[in-house]
Each structure stands twice: as C-alpha cells, then as structure tokens.
Amino acid sequence: MPKKLKVYQTSIGFFDLAVAAPSMKAAAEAWGADPDIFKRGFAKPTVDPKVVAATMGAPGVVLRRPVGSLGEFTEKAVLPKAPKAVQRAPQDRAQRADTSKQAEMKSDEKAKRNAAVALEKEERREALDRAKAEAESERARKQSERLVAKANAAFERARNRHNNTMDSIAQRREELDEEEANESQRWEREQQAHNDALKEAET
C-alpha cells in the first residue's frame, strides 16, 4: 500500500517551493536541500487548500511561485517583471544581476556547508556505531573467557577428585593383595597341620 502523501512548503532563493511527498526527507530531496531544513524551521507541512490542490495534482513535482507572493504554485513559475516606469538603469540591472549572482553563490556555499555538516554527522554516527560494535565484541570475548575459565576450573576439580579416588582404590588393592597373601599362607599352614595330624593318628 503506497504511503500517504503530505504537502510540504519552503522558500529557497527567490521562490516559495511546495511538493507533495510521502515524507519530510523525500520533500527535502526533491528540493535538493538538507533534511535538517525542517528541524531548523525553514520548511514545514502545509494544509493550505490551494497549495494542497496544486501539489496533489502533480505528486513529487516541485511547484514554485515568487517568494512572498500569494499567487498559484506552478511548475514553471517566473519572477514578476518590474513596471516599465520604474525599470532600473543598466547600471542598476548590473547591480541586481551581481546581487543575484552573490545570492546564488551564498546559496551554493550554504548548500556546501549543509552537505559538510551532514557528512560530519554521518561520520560521527559511523564512528559511534563502530565503537559500540567493538565494545560489544570485547564484552562477548571477556564473557567467553570467563566461561572457559569456569569450565576449566570445574574440570580441574573433577580431575583431582578422580586422581584421589584412583589412588585410594590402588591403596586398597595393595592392602587386599597383602591380606590375600597372608590368608593363603595361613591356609597352607592349616592344611599342613591337618595332614600332620592325620599321619600321626595313622601311626
């Protein structure tokens, strides 16, 4: 299901801009601006019926109108021409052109600064993610070492018990062997005494 469109509006250079987009990020990308433009208060959603009607008729298309005017938003808006009675002299037009060029340069510089800030933020975020991953890996390694050490300690205790038990069995075996030998000797003496008694009785 496609995401519901919203209408967003900003002012860049000599034009107010509006676009119907699924998110603030998408609107900023359509304008060629940094997504922080909303956080800094230079752009906002709008529910103006005329703006909504114009942008919803061309979703994703950036519509323009001269900045500060109340005219319709269109795809190919142009700045209004100055009345002939107050048209500026060639020198004034040159100054205006120079001012426009300076404004464009400032806009480019601002865009570059915004891009540099965004890049720096992304690098900091990536560095933080790497640090978190390394810390998690270190915690996992130490936990593994603790488990291995615990298992080795338990095995060493079990081996000591086994060795002690085997030693005790060996000692009892020696005692039993000695007891068996003594009993065999005693029995031999009993048999010899019995035989001697029989011989004496027969004589």
Separation between Cα atoms, residue 71 and residue 44, nearest integer Å:
19
| Residue 56 contacts residue 21 (beta carbons within 8 Å) | no
The residues, any chain, with a CB within 8 Å of residue 59's CB and separated by 6 or more, are: 5, 20, 21
pTM: 0.39
In order along the chain (203 residues), what is the average pLDDT of each group of 10 residues? 82 89 91 88 90 89 87 77 54 67 79 85 88 89 91 91 91 91 92 88 82
- Residue 189's pLDDT is 93
> Tens of pLDDT along 75-115?
877 766 655 544 555 566 667 667 777 877 887 788 888 88
Q: Looking at the DSSP assignment, which residues form a beta bridge with residue 74?
A: 64
Q: Distance between the two ends of the chain, CA-based, in angstroms?
A: 124
For residues 32 and 179, give the distance between their C-alpha atoms in angstroms, rounded to a whole number.
101
Domain boundaries, the chain: 1-77, 99-163
Alpha-carbon distance 44 to 186, whole Å? 112
Locate tokens 């002690």: which residue? 164
